[in-house]
Amino acid sequence: DTGVSQNPRHKITKRGQNVTFRCDPISEHNRLYWYRQTLGQGPEFLTYFQNEAQLEKSRLLSDRFSAERPKGSFSTLEIQRTEQGDSAMYLCATPFGSANTGELFFGEGSRLTVL
């Protein structure tokens, strides 16, 4: 069974505030990915987890960003001291099926607007 739930779907915040997004895969996968999508662009890789371990982080993930995956199930992405440039859709994804090919099942995303 596949499926990824993301919350909140929309978040409007003022510059300088902290925000946290949550990703809940319906079924457990060893991998979980975070991507960012800005208007008119394709998804850009942020980070991924293999179980609880965060194995790779993109240069896009500044010190203000932190992601966790306790217990290897759900994951959170926190952005501290938000900036207007952080406004984007944040996408969570898990592998589709058991084989690691890069085929992903995406959640519907969490849209962040920083005023």
Partner 1 sequence: AQSVTQLDSQVPVFEEAPVELRCNYSSSVSVYLFWYVQYPNQGLQLLLKYLSGSTLVKGINGFEAEFNKSQTSFHLRKPSVHISDTAEYFCAVTISGGSYIPTFGRGTSLIVHP
Asked if 90 contacts 21 with a C-beta cutoff of 8 angstroms, the reply is yes
| Residue 1 · residue 25 · CB < 8 Å | no
Least distance from partner 1 to the Cβ atom of residue 42, Å: 4
Distance CA 47, CA 41 (A): 18
Residue 86 DSSP SS3: helix
Residue 25 in contact with partner 1, rule: CB under 8 A = no
Q: CB of 101: closest distance to partner 1 in angstroms?
A: 5
Nearer to partner 1, 44 or 52 (CB): 44
Instruction: List residues near partner 1 by CB under 8 A.
Output: 4, 31, 33, 35, 40-45, 48, 55-56, 91, 95-96, 100-109
